[in-house]
Structure 1
Amino acid sequence: MCQKNCRGDCDCESQPMGGGQRGTKCDVRILLVGEPGVGKTSLILSLVGEEFPEDVPPRAEEITIPADVTPEKVPTHIVDFSNQEQSAEELSEEILKSNVICIVYSVVDDDTIDRITDYWLPLIRRVLGEEHSTPVVLVGNKVDLVEYSSLELILPIMNQNQEVETCVECSAKTLKNISELFYYAQKAVLHPTGPLYVPHERELTDKCKQALTRVFRICDFNNDGALNDFELDRFQQKCFNTPLEPQALQDLKALVSRQLPEGVREKEGDPKQGGLTLAGFLFLHKLFIQRGRHETTWTILRKFGYDDSLYLSREYLFPKIRVPAGTTTELTEKGHNFLKMLFEKHDLDKDEALCPNELEQLFSVCPVVPWGPELIYTVATNERRFLTKSGYLAMWTLTAALDVTKVMEYFAYLGFMSVTNAESQLDAVTVTRDKQLDLQLKQTMRNVFHCRIIGPQGAGKTSFLQGFLGRTAQETDEIPRAHLPRYTISSVPVYSQEKFLVLHEIDIFSMHDVLTPPELHCDVVCLLYDASNSKSFEYIARIYKKYFEKSRVPVLVVASKCDRSPVKQDYSVQPEEFCNLHKLPPPQMFTTTPATAGEPAKVSRDIYIRLATMAAYPNLKRLVHVLQSRPSWIGEYTNQMMELPPEVTAWMKVGLGAAAVTVMGLLLMRTLKNANTAN
């Protein structure tokens, strides 16, 4: 069903809003009202017959003008009203159905002019509401009978009534301005002045200024506060599909400079790098509207997604995307490149980080910044807690993974389609292949992997999440509790390829806690317990046996707080034996390396790399761990070999190397065989 107040069948829903040069109406319905004898019917018949009718009926039948013969290429319906044949109820119905209302008056009868404000405008407001948006066109007929203009009487009416779009003087008898009358009526619907301009203030509306300011900032690619020749030419081609001639460009800047000196910024030695400031850009549009060229402003606004009420249309912000179960969403290379361009544009001091002011400027074209104060604890920052480029890209990657709709909304605000010439924000995101298919094919093209960090309260999950970002336990303790995120994300190397790992903290409050399906949907699980608390391991052991014992999701057990004295766990088996029984990698130790003289505290990334590798290669659960962990016997024999003579060491190295290759080959074959059997 059409959502644009159209009548009858149409294909509006298949047409993207905000992309064309005209409004979003499927057709235009023009209603002519006025006092008896002012010439409403004669105007319609003169337009259709191209001559003045000698015999005029009380009312003309509804006329439909095909799209191909109208200037705006929109079907137009012209409706006459007659007090003789129609009731007040029928008049109200026609007012409600119309897109524009022409109030016709006679230039030779001042009483018909008085009735505009005494009767017709109040009637329209009663039917449509005081704040209605249906434009009104005042039509002065019978100018062939006078040698003066009625505009002196009409201008105060136009200035005092915002719904009055324009006034046209014409003659049904001589056909003067008949075509123009209906063209302006069409134009009032498709390119209304009301949302753009306040006539009595001779100023742009606040919403229009806000919209044009967003357009300006998107097109200011070098972020210097002025549109230079290159930027203006790209803007022209984006909006009107034609380049801007050099002379026309200079004339335009000269026009603005004469009337508003601060509207143009000159650059010594390179006039092409000077340009139109925001003040000049807004002034130029005010000039367009004052000269009756408001369709130019509308063309620009619609190219940047605005609807007739100067809101970004829902279709523009939220293109339809289907994300089936088992799939995930990631940014494409085109999306990443757009984000990098934005970062470089707003990193004014070129320190590879965005300070709060720079971040605020980046999102100045959006209603609000999409992230709260937890941002700087979710991704990597520099020592001043400014957002680094890697942290910035990681945060967008996390947003795409968790809320792809928000990514598409903000990419629209930020001008993705305008900058990249993409059809929609769908070019910025991709839906990955079903994970089950990845498991069957034993390979994945994903770049983002999800890890659930599950454990009892107090086990150290928050420290583990912050450790992923290189923060020590002491630094984690200094984070305000209200700003602690449930997620962290960073890039990690997986066999020389950079992948993103998303850590999601899940608390276990009791032995009988239930995990939800979304919590179980992940690529790898980290079961974390406190090695210094004898009750801690039982929580994760029960969770493993309940949810993951028969699952194909890789699991890694991690013992935290290993800087304290470990204690025996109050469970039927100890963690090492539990992992061995369930064919899991041995428990991994996690702690922050304490600071020493001259060496700051630090966090090892080995566990995080292991988790990412297990997520990327789930079919090789144990092998991944073995390949990334040097067995202790290798270390012992290596140390012994260092004490032997060189000639003996050489032969032993060869033998040991051959043996290691054989063992690893057998282990690989066995693991692959088990994986195939499991599948």
Structure 2
Amino acid sequence: MTTLLDHKTALGFLAYFGYPSPRTSAFQVTRPRKAERRKGKSTRNVFLCYICGAAGSGKTSLLKEFVGRKFGETYQPTKKMTSVVNSVDIEGSEKYLVLQEFGSKYEAETLKNSKKTDIADVIAYVYDSSDTNSFSYISNLRQQYSHSLDHIPTLFIATKSDLDLAQQRHEVQPDVYCRKLGLAVPVAVSVKTGQMADVFHAMCGIAMKPNSAIPGGADRALSPAARLRSYIKMLSLVGGFSITGFLVYRTWTRPGGWKGGWWTWLVGGLWR
């Protein structure tokens, strides 16, 4: 986890423990996440998931559950950035998942910084399914920072499923909101009763196949420049087919037809 979040500190630890130079040989350097999303598959073994949501939605309880800490009934607001790590078994392969919660003080600072959002493999939006106002916080957050969030694989989590489900005071309900984005409906969990619906496996699964959970479709995983290049290639291809079809039509309909071979009719078609 330290290597993922702060490689300079990890290098200092290696030096302290007497790891031989070059100490960077202890690291495995992977491709940028954006490059992996273009291919639709991640080769990483360590994934970073940002946990975002309104105060009291159950973010800290999720982190505690992930590392086997006891559930606490008393609400304690998060005052500093918190990170936890644990292993997750995916089809017999061990992956490491890092969950990071910011607290209200650092959340906006992180989400508006594209350098920080670019290192996230997954972003999980957590809301209290028993609180009528909890989902609106997520919607407003996504709208405010859409420029730096829409390319990140996304998962919605509805906590406190052991309590009565509340109708959210939002223009659309969470399941409809997710479907409009082309995403799976929120995963319902209850840390208190231990009903977790394999949510941590779901996070790793999304990180491994990122294009399956890009809001608005896999095309959002590309940068604006990459999307522009993709559109230009497509238009060039369509234009090429159109010109070829036009030349074939002109050659076919003129006197002499295909006489003289393909080069003659091609040049002749262009000249005419």
2:205 pairs with 1:613: yes
Distance 1:677 1:611, change over 3 A: closer
Distance 1:544 1:495, change over 3 A: farther
2:39 pairs with 1:441: yes
Give the count of matched residue pairs.
Answer: 215
Which residue of 2 is the match for residue 576 of structure 1? Answer: 175
TM-score by length of 1: 0.29
* Residues 158, 188 of structure 2: 8 Å contact kept: yes
Within 2, Cα distance between the matches of 1:520 and 1:677?
14
TM-score by length of 2: 0.69
Within 2, Cα distance between the matches of 1:480 and 1:561?
17
Cα deviation, residue 620, structure 1? 2.1
Give 1:520's match in structure 2, choosing from 113, 117, 122: 117
Distance 1:458 1:532, change over 3 A: same
Which residue of 2 is the match for residue 456 of structure 1? Answer: 54
Distance 1:481 1:572, change over 3 A: closer
Which residue of 2 is the match for residue 335 of structure 1? Answer: none
Cα deviation, residue 499, structure 1? 1.0
* Residues 508, 539 of structure 1: 8 Å contact kept: no
SS in structure 1 opposite 2:136? helix
Correspondence 1:534-613 to 2 at 5 A: 534-548=132-146, 551-592=150-191, 594=193, 602=194, 604=196, 606-613=198-205
2:130 pairs with 1:532: yes
SS in structure 1 opposite 2:182? coil
Cα deviation, residue 614, structure 1? 0.4
* Residues 399, 407 of structure 1: 8 Å contact kept: yes
SS in structure 2 opposite 1:541? helix
Which residue of 1 is the match for residue 258 of structure 2? Answer: none
Correspondence 1:61-210 to 2 at 5 A: none
Largest Rg, 1 or 2: 1
Within 1, Cα distance between the matches of 2:108 and 2:77?
27
Distance 1:605 1:531, change over 3 A: closer
2:123 pairs with 1:493: no
Within 2, Cα distance between the matches of 1:621 and 1:480?
30
Cα deviation, residue 540, structure 1? 0.3
Within 2, Cα distance between the matches of 1:529 and 1:480?
15
SS in structure 1 opposite 2:11? helix
Within 2, Cα distance between the matches of 1:470 and 1:498?
18
Which residue of 1 is the match for residue 255 of structure 2? Answer: none
Letter in 2 for 1:576: D
Within 2, Cα distance between the matches of 1:485 and 1:571?
28
Cα deviation, residue 473, structure 1? 2.0
Which residue of 2 is the match for residue 399 of structure 1? Answer: 2
Within 2, Cα distance between the matches of 1:498 and 1:548?
32
SS in structure 2 opposite 1:592? coil
* Residues 160, 192 of structure 2: 8 Å contact kept: no
Q: Deviations over 1:201-256 (max 9, x none)?
A: xxxxxxxxxxxxxxxxxxxxxxxxxxxxxxxxxxxxxxxxxxxxxxxxxxxxxxxx
- Of the two structures, which has the highest relative contact order with CA contacts closer than 8 Å and spacing of 6 or more? 2
Cα deviation, residue 676, structure 1? 7.0
Distance 1:412 1:508, change over 3 A: closer
2:23 pairs with 1:425: yes
* Residues 46, 96 of structure 2: 8 Å contact kept: yes
Q: Deviations over 1:565-618 (max 9, x none)?
A: 121111111111111122121011111253xxxxxxx46360011011101111
Q: In structure 2, list runs of 5 or more residues that go unmatched.
A: 223-272
Within 1, Cα distance between the matches of 2:180 and 2:200?
24
Cα deviation, residue 543, structure 1? 1.8
Q: Deviations over 1:150-184 (max 9, x none)?
A: xxxxxxxxxxxxxxxxxxxxxxxxxxxxxxxxxxx
Letter in 2 for 1:606: D
Within 1, Cα distance between the matches of 2:134 and 2:75?
25
Cα deviation, residue 531, structure 1? 1.2
Distance 1:527 1:616, change over 3 A: same
Letter in 2 for 1:620: S
* Residues 471, 603 of structure 1: 8 Å contact kept: no
Within 1, Cα distance between the matches of 2:27 and 2:132?
46
Which residue of 1 is the match for residue 262 of structure 2? Answer: none
Distance 1:569 1:530, change over 3 A: same
Q: In structure 1, list runs of 5 or more residues that go unmatched.
A: 1-397, 418-422, 595-601, 623-673
* Residues 40, 211 of structure 2: 8 Å contact kept: yes
Within 1, Cα distance between the matches of 2:129 and 2:200?
19
Give 1:465's match in structure 2, choosing from 55, 63, 66: 63
Within 2, Cα distance between the matches of 1:605 and 1:584?
17
Which residue of 2 is the match for residue 415 of structure 1? Answer: 18
* Residues 468, 605 of structure 1: 8 Å contact kept: no
Letter in 2 for 1:559: A
* Residues 455, 506 of structure 1: 8 Å contact kept: no
Within 1, Cα distance between the matches of 2:68 and 2:10?
27
Q: Deviations over 1:359-403 (max 9, x none)?
A: xxxxxxxxxxxxxxxxxxxxxxxxxxxxxxxxxxxxxxx111111
Within 2, Cα distance between the matches of 1:578 and 1:545?
13
CA RMSD of aligned residues (A): 3.0
SS in structure 2 opposite 1:540? helix
Distance 1:442 1:467, change over 3 A: same
Within 2, Cα distance between the matches of 1:566 and 1:507?
25
Cα deviation, residue 493, structure 1? 2.1
Which residue of 1 is the match for residue 242 of structure 2? Answer: none
Identity in percent: 30
Correspondence 1:655-674 to 2 at 5 A: none
SS in structure 2 opposite 1:408? helix
Within 2, Cα distance between the matches of 1:536 and 1:585?
19
Distance 1:407 1:477, change over 3 A: farther
* Residues 524, 611 of structure 1: 8 Å contact kept: yes
* Residues 552, 618 of structure 1: 8 Å contact kept: no
Within 2, Cα distance between the matches of 1:491 and 1:477?
28
Q: Deviations over 1:293-336 (max 9, x none)?
A: xxxxxxxxxxxxxxxxxxxxxxxxxxxxxxxxxxxxxxxxxxxx
